Chains A and B, each alone.
Chain A
Amino acid sequence: MGLDVVVEIIVNVLLLPLQAILIPIDLLLNNIPGLSDVPLAIGNILSFIGTIPQTLVNMSGINPTLWNVFFLTFIVYLSAAPVVNVLKKVWAWIRP
């Protein structure tokens, strides 16, 4: 399992509530013909943006492992912080 899989899992979990909320809206929007072209167009732009990180690493000379560890830590930090805060609040509410 590569680091990209770990990031993918974290991002999937983080965005799951938002995506679940959007499902009914998408079901309605699905009736509008031609709207499915929008994600394809977005995908085009994003696939170009996706090449930027490794090009930056290559051009700047940053160690790829160091870059990956930094980014993974950053993602874990972003995802862990709110979860820890919620758990703390729930525990504080239950605790006398």
Chain B
Amino acid sequence: MERSKRCFLFVLVFALSLTGSFTLSSNKAYAASEYDSVVEPVSSIYIQSQNASSEDYQQKDITTSYVSEVSSKNPTAAASFTSCVSDSSCHWIITQNTVDPSVTYDHIKKQTEIYYGITGTITFNSSSPNYAMVSTQNKIVIYMDRFGQTQIYYEPSAQTNVIIARINSVQNGTIDVSARPFVNTFPVVYPSGYQGALIPGALAQEPTDYAPRGSYHMEGLKLTGGWCVFDQPDCNLPIVNAPLILNWKIKDSDGNVITSATGQISEDRSVFTPELANFTYDFQQFGDYTIEAEWSVPIPYITPSDQTWNKTILKIRVDGSTYTSGFDQQDCDNKGVCSSKTVIECNSTTQTFYNYATCKYNELLNIGFLNPSINKFKNIFTAFIVPNNPSCSLALPNVAVTPSKNFPLSSYSAQMCSSSAQFRASFPIVPALLNFFFAISTFYLVARMINNLTDNGSHDVIVGAK
């Protein structure tokens, strides 16, 4: 009876823990008002389709490139939309739409829709299902066909009522949202008592801060890098009617410039110095470095007074490892300030499952500084497993006494290793005793483990090994 009670208590505690976990992990709380769940804003926009042959989903993030996507396929549509954006009397909204599976056309799953025009106000409709709509003139749809190609559907000057936020259905507690607003400049009339999410406002105006964007790849001591030089949103080139000059330099940890270079982009942004997009540098020694880059214009041009051109400072770690880093990976902003996250490359195609899983695990915990520090600390344990031919190399750095003269501390490491080899040759009993000590210690540990697994003292494999 007593046993069954404890078992019951154990199961109860276990079940309560599970229930608590599920409750905490469920973060969706649906509002009670009839409109409050209609708007579910998104921070990114995608196009998605099903592959023609494999039926796998293929997806592309066009959050920062939707203008160039439209421009490359339909310049007329792009010109029409951008002229609306620059016109304060014209309004526009971008939505992320899930295509209804029952009317799937060309395997399209997600598409981005842009509506714009000089008239229109967003209102809420209480029909079933509830939705928010706007009546306006122009429509651009960006979608991906079954072959993974971006396609544009442009419908100008068509007066249409458009649903820009809509919940399709609620099934088994899952809400199917078919239209989600990304960004909007239309005026919105919210229903009285509305407590749901607000339709996101317009993006910030064109950034007035500009900093060069680039990336680099380290392999051993070799750095290969490139700056973003194309006239597209991703590169965020300064807006000026002049050729652009980019100066960049690599500095050591003391701030000394060890190399520098310059490149230029033509006024129409069509021609640039090849070294801008692809440069290399061979470091002489391990250490921490920075690469600094800054835009400028040649004389007699001048920098626009309403823009600030900042210096990007990327950190480089040269420690023999192979990694890729840059503006995005180091979380830099347009002021050139980077938060310098440690870069870990996880690639499921080139790494084994274990290495990939470990990499993702470390990547997940690579936030703040406590967990990254613990991750570094864990390497100490693996360092205790030595290779079959252990090297004798204390990686002692050379200490700089003056900028031009190094104190050769590393040379003492070699001297110490040769001395120890001579000592072992003179006194062979010492390594033999050490090996004996390790063998006995290993045996003792194994015995203690086995004793610990058995009952308290009554079945010890080796009596006394506690």
Contacts and interface: CB of A to CB of B under 8 A. Distances in A.
Interface of A: 1-5, 7-8, 11-12, 15, 18-19, 22-23, 25-30, 33, 35-40, 42-43, 46-55, 57-77, 80-81, 84-85, 93-96
A65 B365 contact: no
B457 to A, nearest CB: 13
A19 B365 contact: yes
Interface residues of B, number: 65
A47 B43 CA distance: 40
Given A7-B384, A8-B382, A35-B369, 18 more contacts: A8-B381, A19-B371, A26-B365, A26-B370, A27-B367, A30-B368, A36-B340, A36-B342, A40-B342, A48-B394, A55-B417, A57-B390, A58-B390, A58-B392, A59-B420, A64-B386, A70-B441, A95-B3
B374 A36 contact: no
B395 A53 contact: no
B369 A26 contact: yes
A43 to B, nearest CB: 4
B381 A7 contact: yes
Contact of A26 (B288, B368, B377): B368
Contact of B442 (A11, A36, A70, A96): A70
B339 A33 contact: yes
A95 B251 CA distance: 67
B386 A57 contact: yes
Contacts, number: 190
B380 A36 contact: no
B400 interface: no
A77 B448 contact: yes
Interface string B424-458: 10000011001100110110011011001100000
Where chain B touches its partner, the secondary structure class is helix
Contact of A55 (B317, B368, B393, B446): B393
B341 interface: yes
Contacts of B435: 61-63, 66
Nearest to A3: B385
B30 interface: no
Contacts of A94: 3, 6-7, 10
B378 interface: yes
B379 interface: yes
Contact of A96 (B3, B341, B382): B3
Contacts of A43: 376
Contact of A67 (B319, B379, B386): B386
B376 A39 contact: yes
6 contacts: A7-B384, A18-B374, A25-B368, A27-B368, A47-B395, A95-B3
B383 A53 contact: yes
A54 B386 contact: yes
Contacts of B147: none
A96 to B, nearest CB: 4
A76 B342 CA distance: 31
